[in-house]
Amino acid sequence: MIIVYIDPKDTNPRHDQNTLIDILTKANVEFTTASIYKTPLIIIRTLTQKMRENREKLSIVKGPSDKWNHDTLILPPVMEVNGDAYPWWYTRERLDEIIRHARIKIPEKKKLKIKRITNRKTTKDQIEIDLVSLARINITMLAFVSGIDPIDVMKFWPMGERTGFMLGWRLAQHYKCNDMLILADMLVNKAHVADPYTRDKHRWIGDEM
């Protein structure tokens, strides 16, 4: 799975991003493109972090003098391949190696299946999702669990995706509604037991409020 982060407004055929896309297309390599300027900042930071973590390998290519600078690393095109990220100055000289890496790790046209949310364990209903979408889910979830406000990520999504997210969120709340009510009852009962006033009066002090 390959994602190429580009500047959609740059149509100069001599620039690296358009040369890269042309080569991938002619080589029948499956890839998708994304605007580097509409990509959430948390994902950009994740990409640059991956590049710096892989500094020993990437340093084989000389590159510009400021090649590890953030602004240099995110210049289009940035390639994400099977969880690894490559800056433009590396793809310029090592594209063949990156393509081999992508083809070896992931079989073509492979799809994953996600089971439908249900209380029945024997259900056969499934949803198919491609590897590009799975990668996006993983990156987005990483952003959420790292403390990023979901609104800061969602505001870059099309309206249809925002609607789908909210539907899923409300369904998740609905499925857990009974569990949350049970938990609330448990907390209230625990408060009754823990309150010293209930030992004598058999009522909770909070009832007077």
What CATH number did the domain enclosing 20 receive?
3.40.30
Stretch among 76-85, 122-131, 184-193 having the lowest mean pLDDT = 122-131
Is residue 192 in a domain?
A: yes
| CB-CB neighbours of 207 under 10 Å | 10
* Whether residue 195 has pLDDT greater than 70: no
Eight-class DSSP state of 197: T
> Within this chain, do residues 153 and 163 fall inside the same structural domain, yes or no?
no
> At 98, which amino acid appears?
I
Cα gap 14→140, rounded to integer Å? 33
> Within this chain, do residues 71 and 139 fall inside the same structural domain, yes or no?
no
Q: What is the pLDDT of residues 48-95, one digit of tens each?
A: 989 998 999 999 998 899 999 999 999 999 999 887 899 999 999 999
**pTM assigned to the model:** 0.54
Q: How confident is the model at residue 16 (pLDDT cuts 50, 70, 90)?
A: very high
> Within this chain, do residues 93 and 123 fall inside the same structural domain, yes or no?
no
- Relative to beta strand 126-130, strand 111-115 is antiparallel
pLDDT of residue 120: 52
| CB-CB neighbours of 89 under 10 Å | 18
Q: What share of the chain is helix, strand, coil (3-state, %, to 5)?
A: 55, 10, 35
What does the pLDDT average to over 4-30? 91
Is residue 98 in a domain?
A: yes
Range of the domain at 10: 2-105
Q: How many domains does the chain have?
A: 3
pLDDT of residue 186: 78
CB of 3 closer than 8 Å to CB of 79: yes
